[in-house]
Amino acid sequence: MTGWEVFLQQLIIGLSNGMIIALIALGYTMVYGIIELINFAHGDLFMLGCFAALTVVSLTGGLPVWLVLMLLLVLTPVFCGSLNWLVDRLAYRHLRDATKLAPLVSAIGVSFVFLNLGLFWGGLPLKVFGFGKAAAAPKDFPTLVSNANLLGSSNVEFTTKDLLVLVITVPLMVGLTLFVKRTRAGKAMRAVAQDRLAAQLMGIDANRVIGQTFLLGGGLAGVASVVASLYNNTIYFQMGYRAGMDAFTAAVLGGIGSLPGAVLGGLCIGLARAFADQYIATRWTNVIVFAILILVLVFRPSGLLGAKHREKV
Amino acid sequence: MSLLQVDKLTMRFGGLVAVDAVTLEIPPGEIVSLIGPNGAGKTTVFNAITGIYEPSAGSIRFAGHETRSEFHGSVAILLLLTGFLTAGALILLCNIESLWEVVITGNYQYRQVFQWKPAGVAFTTYFSENSGTRLILPAVLGLFLGLAGAWAVWQRSRRTPEVAAHAGIARTFQNIRLFNQMTVLDNVLLGMDTRLRTRFWHAALRLPLFWRERRDATGMAIEILRFVDLNREVNQLAENLSYGHQRRLEIARALAMQPKLLLLDEPAAGLNPAESQSLMELILQIRERGITVLLIEHDMQVVMGISDRIAVLDYGEKIAEGTPVEVRANPAVIEAYLGKSDAST
Amino acid sequence: MKLRFHWAFLLIAALVPVVGLFVPAAQSLGELLRPIFIMAILALGLNILTGFTGILNLGVAAFMALGAYVYAILTCDIYPFQFGFWPAVLLTVLVGLLAGLMLGLPTIRLRGDYLAIVTLGFGEIVQDSLKNMDVITKGTQGINPLPAPTFAGYVFRSETYAPWYYLFLGFLALVVLLNRNLQRSRVGRAWIAIREDELAASCMGVNPMKMKLLAFSLGAAQCSLAGALWASFLGSSGEPGNYDFQVSIIALCIVIVGGMGNIAGVLLGALVVVGCNSLVLETFTNFLKAHELISSTNVYTAPGNWKYMLFGLALILMMRFKPEGLLPSRQVKAELHPHEPPPS
């Protein structure tokens, strides 16, 4: 492959992975925008979604691929969204007015619970989980979408998988933007994010709206987990940490609280990872992502598209 | 010469102009009140003076200097130091493994004496051989990043509240901001922080300076509490005090800073007439101690009772200034407070 | 003079080996207490940041790892340095101080939640780097063997546990003393004020940036000390995987369960959390193994696999019901005695 072809290939890989990161980052940024909580458990929610997807696949053994995909894209987001909503209801709701530290630590606790759930899930006596023999080991996700290169015999590969990522994520993001801008529920979310008390005085049930935000953010993570599982064909119970870290960096890079920022950040991080893997060394990629995070926070803490934060005295 | 010179101060938040070209001159030793309807921009002016907000336009000079840290030689040294540290760190990061191999493992035989000289030679040859990518590139990059980062951080910290505090400006807040989990005494001692010289090693090792300063500081703090009549509540948690006492504690904490200028933001809010009366006496006593007072207040009894001069803000603009008698009769002021058709005071 | 909990704890702890001379059970307890002392030092380091200053640090394991590896590099005879125990520990603490300063400098102006994530990332980066730089760190092998500590000619052999016990207890007592001195001083006051209301504190002239940097450096130095002691205890630097997120979270659990900002609480928390983790879980596991109730293929039966769940639930429940911890800070106690003279 020529240098140019290598570059293009990494571009495609970077953008595809970037879209997945963007989906997770959207969930992060929505929850942060509305209650200023960094949901540590979000990455692990994504991981649980992957396990849920694998379970769905195992239970729908003989069905045609398109049907399995449909089921995945419906059931997994519902699962993740509901779980996220439940966690808010049980753990975070009572901490709305507590110190900043309390919901943060709570989120860490939830993250841990999810982590353990992932470990136990891998121990289920199902064929796809290796009959529970090695709960902690990575699991293979069946290749439902082929690796066939849509560009024919070119050196640069744009596979059906890449197409799948585009086909799922782009309409979803457009739909999300429309939802937040045009619908009443979306407006309520933006109102609560800007000023919770004022929104409540206008008759908006803040807790319900916050719950809906968690539901939506979780759903996005669910879609991300389906796409990621189909794209990477492997899941393991510690994958939540990496995904969460990348998504958080993306959200901060784009400007936390900003939806287009999360998408932009996700794409940037995806590209950064791909290029770092190729041109520097895989073992330094995580360090580079971390360095990006530090640089953004030092030079432009509000991110690329974010708004400045001003404390009222 | 005025103690505080606010010159055409303008504060813009997004599209909203909260303060519009306000000019104030506060001579030393006076009690000046800033009044105006709610939302007129009074607290915003306070926040600009104390360094919480950066002025969008205009200047604020306290005792002749602008209330922000200037670029001294020491700042330049700090920036350069950060640059060099970052450069060093980056060089180390890029080279540490190969350097280690060449210098240490290459020259050290297990359990034998380490040969320093060949190690040193290996060190210098390593860098002279690969100086391009190994030395120059990370050094330059690190220097640039370090300088730029330190500059960015310094710029953001130039006009911060602690700069104004060190210059001699103290304040209280519209919504009381005491340290609720700390005792009354600790709150006042915290106010005294700028005057203390104890460093962390004095404290950790309990050196004589620590004991001496603690004794002196506690004495001074209790004297200040006696001045505001709170010396009976020394060990009480701040959040357990009554509202009136909390207001006094905030003033005591501000006084502990030994300021030249004291900014009081609605100190009489929520006080009954008797409490307001003793507040007025307290402020007069503060003035007698040589402290200039700038006051935001809605209670006209207090304002008219102790102010030497009054400035009136409305919608971010200064609409009147003068002695209490002058301001009282000013039609623009009456209109701002009471509306056009009502001419009574 | 009232005997405060932390001195009582240390006093009782000092007596355990003495009792152990007569009661063997106490002796085995003493052996198990040594890691608790080290974890307590680690948690006290975190306490400076989180308990006093209100900065959530999720990567203290990184500083512990740093301390362990620096100590190992300085003392192991596969490298030419070969310092003695005491100079090595001192140097390790200084390196920790510097490392805390370097992490703090670019990140100090960040808001609390952002800073937490940065420290989380830092923990991962350090662990990764230690694994990757295997020329220096020997990768997953670790740097070993390390010589035993010496004191005025006496060599601490690993067979006799009592001198080691007192060595670590001594370090813990020193750390407790220094922390307590800092807490009840201008420095501690400034830290707590920053935690309560950073803006008001800076309006009073406190420089939050400087104080947070100080907290970072001192906290990191203490965590590195814990790492050095740990390496000396193991006789090895351990492998990078030992200093993972789990260690950081145990430290966080200790601080939160015990009582944030309260030194005695941290000691109690160390006893409870590490005790649970190593003693209770292990004993339970051994018990189940003995009765053949643990199957190697069934992940649910090994108590060790429930660790994350337990820690997570502990954190969630503590935040929900008792966020001030098991031993609330002294400030709350002062509430009950408002007219007593100022505490010493």
Tell the residue number behind the tokens 């030079």, with chain if given.
Answer: A299
Q: Rounded to an integer, what distance in angstroms lies between the CA atom of residue B98 and that of residue A279? A: 20
Using the beta-carbon criterion (under 8 Å), do A313 and B148 form an inter-chain contact?
no
**Among candidate residues A6, A39, A21, the one with its CA nearest the CA of residue A232:** A21
**Among candidate residues B337, B171, B167, B164, the one with its CA nearest the CA of residue B266:** B171
Residues of A in contact with B155 (CB under 8 A): none
Q: Does A33 fall in a domain?
A: yes
Name the band, by pLDDT with cuts 50, 70 and 90, for residue C163.
confident
- Backbone angles phi and psi of B340, in degrees to 5: -70, -45
Q: Rounded to an integer, what distance in angstroms lies between the CA atom of residue C77 and that of residue C81? A: 8
Contact B190, B257 (CB under 8 A): no
Residues of B in contact with A293 (CB under 8 A): none
pLDDT at residue A87 greater than cutoff 90: yes
Report residue A80 as tokens. 């993740």
Contact A119, A136 (CB under 8 A): yes
- Please give the pLDDT value at position B89: 82
- Please give the pLDDT value at position C329: 66
Q: Rounded to an integer, what distance in angstroms lies between the CA atom of residue A164 and that of residue C36? A: 52
Q: What is the pLDDT of residues A201-210, one digit of tens each?
A: 888 888 899 9
Per-residue pLDDT, averaged over C123-152, amounts to 80
- Please give the pLDDT value at position A154: 75
Name the band, by pLDDT with cuts 50, 70 and 90, for residue C336.
very low
DSSP calls for A241-290: HHHHHHHHHHHHHH-TT-HHHHHHHHHHHHHHHHHHHHHT-GGGHHHHHH
Name the band, by pLDDT with cuts 50, 70 and 90, for residue C18.
confident
- Please give the pLDDT value at position C330: 58
Percent of chain C whose predicted confidence (pLDDT) is above 70: 90
- Please give the pLDDT value at position C340: 46
- Please give the pLDDT value at position A279: 87
The chain-wide mean pLDDT, for chain A, equals 87
User: Which residue in B166, B203, B205 is closest to C205 by CB distance?
Assistant: B166
- Please give the pLDDT value at position C335: 40
The alpha carbon of residue C164 is apart from the nearest alpha carbon of chain B, in Å, by 25
pLDDT at residue C289 greater than cutoff 50: yes
The alpha carbon of residue B88 is apart from the nearest alpha carbon of chain C, in Å, by 12
pLDDT at residue B258 greater than cutoff 90: yes
Burial class (CB in 10 A: 0-12, 13-18, 19+), B322: middle
- Is residue C283 within 8 angstroms of chain B, CB to CB? no
Q: Does A228 fall in a domain?
A: yes
- Please give the pLDDT value at position B131: 67
Q: Rounded to an integer, what distance in angstroms lies between the CA atom of residue B8 and that of residue B20? A: 7
Range of the domain at A104: 3-146+158-238
Q: Listing from the earlier edge strand, what are the strands of the sheet with B309-314? A: B169-171, B261-265, B292-296, B31-35, B309-314, B317-322
Using the beta-carbon criterion (under 8 Å), do C300 and A120 form an inter-chain contact?
yes
- At position A111, the amino acid (one-letter code) is S
Q: What is the pLDDT of residues B117-167, one digit of tens each?
A: 777 777 777 777 766 667 788 888 888 888 888 888 788 777 788 889 999
Percent of chain B whose predicted confidence (pLDDT) is above 70: 94
Residues near C246 by beta carbon (within 8 Å), at least 6 away in sequence? C61, C307
ipTM: 0.87
Q: Does A83 fall in a domain?
A: yes
Residues of A in contact with B176 (CB under 8 A): none
pLDDT at residue C339 greater than cutoff 50: no
- Backbone angles phi and psi of B302, in degrees to 5: -65, -45
Name the band, by pLDDT with cuts 50, 70 and 90, for residue B339.
low
Per-residue pLDDT, averaged over B301-315, amounts to 91
C64: left (phi over 0), alpha (psi -120 to 50) or beta: alpha
- Please give the pLDDT value at position C344: 39
**Among candidate residues B337, B333, B345, B339, the one with its CA nearest the CA of residue B37:** B337
Least confident of B128-132, B327-331, C216-220: B128-132
- Please give the pLDDT value at position A185: 87
Contact A257, A193 (CB under 8 A): yes
User: Which residue in A295, A299, A313 is closest to B173 by CB distance?
Assistant: A313
Per-residue pLDDT, averaged over C30-48, amounts to 88
Q: Rounded to an integer, what distance in angstroms lies between the CA atom of residue C342 and that of residue B262? A: 28
Summary count for chain C: helices (H), strands (E): 15, 2
Using the beta-carbon criterion (under 8 Å), do C338 and B240 form an inter-chain contact?
yes
In 3-state terms, what secondary structure has residue C249? Answer: helix
The full set of domain ranges for chain C reads: 32-243
- Is residue C111 within 8 angstroms of chain B, CB to CB? no
- Is residue B148 within 8 angstroms of chain C, CB to CB? no
**Among candidate residues B261, B310, B305, B300, the one with its CA nearest the CA of residue B280:** B305
- Is residue A308 within 8 angstroms of chain B, CB to CB? no
Site from B145, B147, B174 to mutate, A interface, most A CB atoms within 10 angstroms: B145
- Please give the pLDDT value at position C333: 44
Tell the residue number behind the tokens 């400098």, with chain if given.
Answer: C105
Per-residue pLDDT, averaged over B184-205, amounts to 91
Q: What is the pLDDT of residues B180-194, one digit of tens each?
A: 889 999 999 999 999
- Is residue B147 within 8 angstroms of chain A, CB to CB? no
Using the beta-carbon criterion (under 8 Å), do B152 and A313 form an inter-chain contact?
no
pLDDT at residue A9 greater than cutoff 70: yes
Most confidently modeled range among A14-28, A169-183, C107-121, C281-295: A14-28
- Please give the pLDDT value at position C229: 93
Per-residue pLDDT, averaged over B233-258, amounts to 92
Per-residue pLDDT, averaged over B233-250, amounts to 91
Q: Does A44 fall in a domain?
A: yes
Please name the residues between 171 and 230 in chain B that touch chain C, using a CB distance below 8 Å: 171, 173, 177-183, 185-186, 189-191, 193-194, 196, 198, 200, 202-206, 210, 213-214, 218
The alpha carbon of residue A67 is apart from the nearest alpha carbon of chain C, in Å, by 32
Name the band, by pLDDT with cuts 50, 70 and 90, for residue C2.
very low
Residues of B in contact with C102 (CB under 8 A): 85, 89
Q: Rounded to an integer, what distance in angstroms lies between the CA atom of residue A91 and that of residue C73? A: 45
Query: What is the number of structural domains in chain A?
Result: 1
Residues of C in contact with A109 (CB under 8 A): 311-316, 319
Contact A128, A143 (CB under 8 A): no
- Please give the pLDDT value at position A23: 93
More confident call, A280 vs B263: B263
In 3-state terms, what secondary structure has residue C22? Answer: coil
Using the beta-carbon criterion (under 8 Å), do B189 and C186 form an inter-chain contact?
yes
Per-residue pLDDT, averaged over A10-32, amounts to 92
The chain-wide mean pLDDT, for chain C, equals 82
Touching subunits for chain C (3+ Cβ pairs under 8 A): A, B
Beta strand pairing call for B261-265 and B292-296 = parallel
Using the beta-carbon criterion (under 8 Å), do A290 and C298 form an inter-chain contact?
no
Q: Does A258 fall in a domain?
A: no
In 3-state terms, what secondary structure has residue B227? Answer: helix
Count CA atoms closer than 13 A to B194's CA, side-chain side: 25
Report residue B181 as tokens. 């989990």
**Helical pair A101-121 and C307-321, crossing angle rounded to 10 deg:** 150
pLDDT at residue C80 greater than cutoff 90: no
DSSP-derived letter for residue C343 is P
Tell the residue number behind the tokens 């922000």, with chain if given.
Answer: B68
The alpha carbon of residue B310 is apart from the nearest alpha carbon of chain A, in Å, by 23
More confident call, C163 vs A259: A259
Q: Report pTM.
A: 0.86
Q: Rounded to an integer, what distance in angstroms lies between the CA atom of residue A239 and that of residue A51? A: 11
Query: Domains in chain B, please, with CATH?
Result: 1-68+162-168+259-345 (3.40.50.300), 73-156 (no CATH), 177-243 (no CATH)
Please name the residues between 300 and 319 in chain B that touch chain C, using a CB distance below 8 Å: none
DSSP calls for C161-219: HHHHHHHHHHHHHHHHHHHHHHHTSHHHHHHHHHHH-HHHHHHTT--HHHHHHHHHHHH
pLDDT at residue B246 greater than cutoff 90: yes
Q: What is the pLDDT of residues A221-277, one digit of tens each?
A: 999 999 999 998 888 888 998 899 899 999 989 988 888 999 999 999 999 999 999
3-state secondary structure C24-53: HHHHHHHHHHHHHHHHHHHHHHHHHHHHHC
Helical residues (DSSP H) of B58-106, grouped into ranges? 73-100
- Is residue B95 within 8 angstroms of chain A, CB to CB? no
User: Exposed e or buried b for every residue in B39-62, given b needs 16+ CB within 10 A?
Assistant: ebbbbbbbbbbbbbbebeebebeb
B145: closest chain A residue by CA: A295
Q: Does A166 fall in a domain?
A: yes
